[in-house]
Amino acid sequence: MAEPSSGDGNGDKSANCDEVNGISAKVVSEEDARRAEELKEKANEFFKKKDYGQSITYYTEAIELNPYITAYWGNRSFAYIKTECYGYALNDASKALELDKTYIKAYYRRASANMALGKFKLALKDFEAVTKARPSDKDAQRNYHECNKIVKRQAFMKAISVDDHKKPVAVTIEEELANMVIEDDYQGPCIGEEGITLQFMKDLIETFKQQKKLHRKYAYQILVEVKKIFMSQASLVDITVPKGKKFTICGDVHGQFYDLLNIFELNGLPSEENPYLFNGDFVDRGSFSVECILTLWGFKLLYPSHFYMSRGNHESETMNQMYGFDGEVKAKYTNQMAELFTEVFNWLPLSHLINEKILAMHGGLFSEDNVTLDDIRKTDRNRQPPDSGIMCDLLWSDPQPQPGRSASKRGVGCQFGPDVTKKFLENNNLEYIVRSHEVKNEGYEVAHDGKCITVFSAPNYCDTMGNKGAFIVIRGDDLTPQFTSYEAVPHPNVKPMAYANSLLSMF
C-alpha cells in the first residue's frame, strides 16, 4: 500500500450528485471534475517526490472541487500519515469509507493512523475488515496477525500489572547488580566506586561512536540510579539560570546520536558552567536511540542540578513498541532492560520553569482554560500517557496560527491559538513558552507574536526531511532566545526505523 491511488476515480462512488453519504450537497460540473483530476495527478507527483505538504495542498483543492471521489480522501489520508497528522488521516480515511465501504486502501490508512497512535484494538478491526474482503491477501493476513499479537500482549500486560506485590524491575535489577559478571574480554568504560565521572562520559561517547556497547551491568546501573533522581523531582521542575550564565534548550533528538554529538561539538559538553535542557523525544525512529539515552542519562547523573530532561510523547510504551526503541533495546541488551526503560520514562518530569518566566514542555498548552503552574506540579505522571488532560496536552499538543482551539491534527491533544497562549502566559505571569515536537525547516520557529517557540534538534529527520536542527541559548539576565541552526552530520550505515515494528512498513 505504498502509493497513492492514480486512477481516474472509476469505481469510486462519485460525480454529479446532490449528496453522497452525508458529504455536503454539491453539483459537480464536468469542468470541475476534470480540473479535480488534474489536481489529483499533480498531488500524486508531489507525493512521489516526498513533498507531502504540497501533495496535501493539491489533494485538498481536488476535494474542494469534487468531494465525491473516494481516492482523493484516501490519498490525502496517506499524505497526512506521512506528515504524522494522524488525526487528519483518520478523518479522511473515514470519509473515504463513507463514500465506499469497499475501498480497501482506506481501511489500511485508518489502521495505520490508529497504530501510530497506539490504538491497536481499533486498528485490528480495520485489518479484520481487509482480511474478510481479501481472504487470500497474504499481506493483509500478516498485518492482522501481527496487530492481534500486540493486542493480546497488551491485555496480558494489563492483567499482570494489577499485581500490587510485583516488584519494580529497578528493585530486582539493583539486587542483582553486585552479581553481574564483567567478562575478561570487555574493554569498554567502567563505572567505579566514584560513580559517573567526566572521563567515563568521554569514554562512553567514544565507545558509542565506534558502534560498541556499554556493558549491560553499567547500562543497568545508569538506569537504576537515574530513576532515583527522576523520582525525587516534581512534574514541573524549577530551574534558576544566574545572571550572566548561559542555558541551552534542545528539542527532539530521536535516536540521532551523531547529531547529538554535533550539538556538543558546537555548544560544548554539558557541565555545571554549561547546563542543558533536553525537551523530550530522545528515542524512536533513529536507530541509535540506546546510545542517545544512555549518554543523556549519564550526563544527568554527572550533573544532576545542571542537566534536565522533559518527557516527550515518544517516552511511552506504545510508541516504543512501534517506532523502534523497544526493538533496539531488546536487540542490543535484554527484554528486561526494555521494561526498565519504561519504568524510568514514567518518572521523567513533564515540564520545566526557567527563572519563573519561561515554561518548557515537549508538546504544548491545554485543551481547557485556567490551567495553572500548580496544576502541572500536582499532575501524577508515573503512568503511561493518557488520552486527555494536562499530561496528555503537555506531551502532544501543537500551536496553530488562528485563534481558539481545534481538534489535534495528530488525533491526541489539541491545537491552540495565539489567544490561548497569551491568556495562559498572563494568568501565570510568564514571558513565553518553549516546546518541541514538530519538524521545522530551520530547526526552530517563533510563533504567536514571539510567545510560542518551537525547537527541534534532529536535522534531516529520519534521513528524509532535509530540515536543519537547532538549539536555543538564553542567559540569566537576558531571557531573549538566541538560535543556532545546523545541518545533519554523517552516521554509520544503519537506516532509521531499523528496529521498528514490521507493521510500519505500510506507512
Q: Same domain, yes or no, for 100 and 208?
A: no
Collect all residues with Cβ–Cβ distance below 8 Å to 237 and sequence separation of at least 6. 308, 349, 351, 352, 353
Is a pLDDT exceeding 90 seen at residue 216?
yes
Please write the tens of the pLDDT for every residue from 436-472.
999 999 999 999 999 999 999 999 999 989 999 999 9
Domain of 23: which CATH number? 1.25.40.10
Q: Which residues contact 119 (CB under 8 A, 6 or more apart)?
A: none
Residues 245 and 303 reside in one and the same domain: yes
Q: Is the pLDDT of residue 11 over 80?
A: no
Q: What's the Cα-to-Cα distance from 281 to each of 65, 270, 438, 486, 493, rounded to whole Å?
A: 39, 19, 11, 19, 22
pLDDT for res 280: 97
Q: Kindly state the DSSP code that residue 89 receives in the 8-state scheme.
A: H
Q: Residues 6 or more apart from 232 whose CB is under 8 A from it?
A: none
Confidence of residue 3 (pLDDT cuts 50, 70, 90): low
211 and 157 together in one domain: no
Strands 236-239 and 414-416: unpaired
Residue 390 has pLDDT above 50, yes or no: yes
The rounded mean pLDDT for the chain is 93
Q: Which of 163, 197, 222 is the last residue of a domain?
A: 163
- 111 and 145 inside one domain: no
What CATH number did the domain enclosing 302 receive?
3.60.21.10
Domains held by the chain: number: 3
| C-alpha cell belonging to residue 141 | 493476513
Are residue 186 and residue 157 in the same domain, yes or no? Answer: no
Is pLDDT of 15 > 80? no
User: Catalytic one among 215, 254, 314, 362?
Assistant: 314
**Mean per-residue pLDDT, 195-223:** 98
Asked whether the predicted pLDDT for residue 154 surpasses 90, the reply is no
Q: What DSSP state is assigned to residue 351?
A: E
**Could you list the residue range(s) of the whole structural domain that residue 16 is in?**
1-117
- Judged against a pLDDT cut of 60, whether residue 17 lies above it is answered with no
Same domain, yes or no: 480 and 346: yes
Kindly state the percentage of the chain with pLDDT values over 90. 86
Regarding whether 435 and 330 lie in a shared domain, the answer is yes
Q: Domain check: are 106 and 234 in the same one?
A: no
Phi-psi region of 283 (alpha: psi -120 to 50; beta: other; left: phi over 0): beta
Angle 476-313-347 from CA coordinates, rounded to 5°: 70
Same domain, 390 and 271: yes
Q: Give the Cα separation of 366 and 322 in Å (integer).
A: 26
Average confidence (pLDDT) over 43-50? 94
**146 and 89 part of one domain:** no
C-alpha cell at 124: 485490528
Percent of the chain whose pLDDT exceeds 70: 93
Verify that 498 and 412 share a domain, yes or no: yes
41 and 1 assigned to the same domain: yes
Residue 314 appears among annotated catalytic residues:
yes
Summarize pLDDT for 320-374 with one digit per residue, the tens: 999 999 999 999 999 999 999 999 999 999 999 999 999 999 999 999 999 999 9
pLDDT class for 72, splitting at 50, 70, 90? very high
368 vs 198: CA distance, rounded Å = 44
